[in-house]
Chains A and B, each alone.
Chain A
């Protein structure tokens, strides 16, 4: 059974700092990996999707990497801002016909202090 772990569970940084969020998964047979952002009491916003054949994806100040063989992904946030404060969730999808099944981690709660 796939398990996804996110470290750290919570992170507090001053504004302007670069930071890295970590995600690990136990079964490397994945179709892709997604990073989401969730604001308190709200739904999920997709940030980046990395296909299993890719090594990284970039969007603005965000860069996500994937090392499928070692079961790890990182989300790098450059020059953090208070508006980046949210919970960041990592999810992996099953391979083959089960690629719609997402397994989520518990998330990392990020607080960026002004």
Chain B
């Protein structure tokens, strides 16, 4: 266990559905991240939150909407997704983002399938 949990672990949704992914970290960290892992491609950083403020949006389509209500919780709201959005979505946390100790700890991921 890394101290980062994600729910649900598996999600199947239609293109018109609205769903949310949840991430929670119990490490006392102040930075949280969303990554996308597609088959045959390297992990791609999607969003970064540092002390609840979004500091990075890596040109992610607006059908993905992140939310960080506090330093321990991170959500990814999904709406009108496409089949090519099917992937493993990983959450990570680190002490903070921007200097010093940047070691990231990853959750188990949510396997998303868009039909």
Q: Which residues of A contact B (CB under 8 A)?
A: 4, 31-32, 34, 36, 41-46, 49, 89, 91, 93, 96-97, 99-107
Contacts and interface: CB of A to CB of B under 8 A. Distances in A.
A44 B90 contact: yes
Nearest to B10: A41
A31 B99 CA distance: 9
Given A43-B107, A43-B108, A44-B90, A100 B102 contact: yes
Contacts of A104: 42-43
A106 B33 CA distance: 19
Contact of B106 (A31, A32, A43, A49): A43
B48 A100 contact: yes
Interface residue SS majority, chain A = strand
Report, as a range, how many residues of chain B touch the other chain: 20 to 34
B112 to A, nearest CB: 12
Interface of B: 2, 4, 6, 31, 33, 40-43, 45, 48, 50, 56, 88, 90, 92, 94, 97-99, 102-109, 111
B88 A106 contact: no
Nearest to A94: B102
B102 A99 contact: yes
B41 A101 contact: no
A105 B90 CA distance: 16
Given A41-B88, A104-B42, A105-B42, A46 B98 contact: no
Nearest to A5: B42
14 contacts: A32-B102, A34-B103, A41-B109, A41-B111, A42-B109, A43-B4, A43-B6, A46-B106, A100-B31, A100-B50, A100-B98, A100-B102, A102-B43, A106-B40
